[in-house]
């Protein structure tokens, strides 16, 4: 299958890519960074849930998620209009308003995508204008034999849920509850080591942008290291 190549304009830069492919990966491949959290490379249908990758497309009403906008010949895109920047900032502020912001004691400190996006958007990692919302979660969920989950760090981007669904024997992760109580949950509660096949995978921890899901072994070592300091 070879789709027709088309030329589009993103922020005055011309890009050529196959028609019908999604805008976000095309931009990323061409060194135009658009903040994103829920997208995983190679995803067939990104969930468009983080809402950070909004862009303006000429002739299309309202902001559009670039991860699900198919490109077409002559498409003109703006990734940094005033409206888009503002929306992105608000989305970011909303996300960090529910986070505990404890970077120094976090396993993903310095490798955290939220930190990188904060830098890109020139936004603080702690809410200033919005009040902090303390989500009604436990600090740590560690009943999985191989994984630990720190839900207060979780941005609910869903990468882990997605990646688990693509793996044979996978589909152990799912969202549970609703509204502000939404949480990633291990499917069912049969977390007996004999029936959980996660020991050689850890794909979910690799895609987690913020270190909310970690390998139990690595996490324990990290905590031990913290205690020494």
Please, which residue, 46 or 209, has the CB nearer to another protein?
A: 46
Please, which residue, 42 or 62, has the CB nearer to another protein?
A: 62
Contact 212, 219 (CB under 8 A): no
What is the separation, in whole angstroms, between the first and last Cα of the chain? 56
Parallel, antiparallel, or unpaired for β 76-78 and 5-10? parallel
CB of 156 to another protein, least distance (A): 6
Q: Is 58 helix (H, G, I), strand (E, B) or coil?
A: coil
CB of 46 to another protein, least distance (A): 8
Q: Is 66 helix (H, G, I), strand (E, B) or coil?
A: helix
CB of 15 to another protein, least distance (A): 22
**Residues within the interface to another protein (CB under 8 A):** 45-52, 54, 62-63, 65, 68, 83, 86-87, 90-91, 94-95, 97-98, 129-131, 133, 156, 158, 174-175, 177-182
CB of 49 to another protein, least distance (A): 5
Please, which residue, 178 or 229, has the CB nearer to another protein?
A: 178
Please, which residue, 131 or 229, has the CB nearer to another protein?
A: 131
Closest CA to 66 of 100, 108, 22: 22
CA distance 171 to 160: 10
Please, which residue, 42 or 179, has the CB nearer to another protein?
A: 179
CB of 62 to another protein, least distance (A): 6
Contact 95, 180 (CB under 8 A): no
Strand-pairing partners, residue 56, are 78
């Amino acid at each position: 299958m070879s789709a027709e190549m088309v030329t589009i304009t993103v922020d005055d830069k011309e890009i050529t890519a196959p028609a019908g492919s999604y805008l976000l990966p095309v931009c990323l491949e061409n060194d135009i960074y658009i903040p994103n959290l829920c997208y995983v490379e190679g995803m067939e249908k990104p969930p468009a849930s983080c809402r950070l990758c909004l862009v303006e497309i000429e002739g299309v009403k309202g902001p559009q998620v670039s991860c699900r906008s198919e490109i077409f010949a002559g498409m003109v895109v703006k990734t940094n209009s005033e409206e888009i920047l503002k929306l992105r900032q608000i989305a970011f502020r909303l996300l960090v308003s529910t986070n505990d912001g404890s970077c120094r004691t976090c396993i993903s400190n310095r490798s955290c995508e939220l930190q990188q996006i904060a830098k890109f958007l020139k936004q603080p990692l702690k809410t200033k204008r919005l009040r902090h919302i303390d989500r009604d979660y436990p600090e740590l969920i560690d009943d999985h034999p191989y994984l630990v989950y720190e839900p207060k760090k979780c941005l609910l981007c869903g990468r882990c849920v997605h990646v688990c669904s693509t793996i044979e024997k996978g589909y152990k992760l799912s969202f549970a509850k609703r509204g502000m109580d939404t949480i990633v949950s291990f499917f069912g509660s049969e977390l007996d080591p004999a029936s959980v096949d996660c020991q050689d995978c850890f794909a979910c921890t690799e895609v987690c942008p913020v270190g909310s899901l970690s390998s139990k072994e690595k996490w324990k070592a990290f905590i031990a290291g913290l205690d020494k300091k």
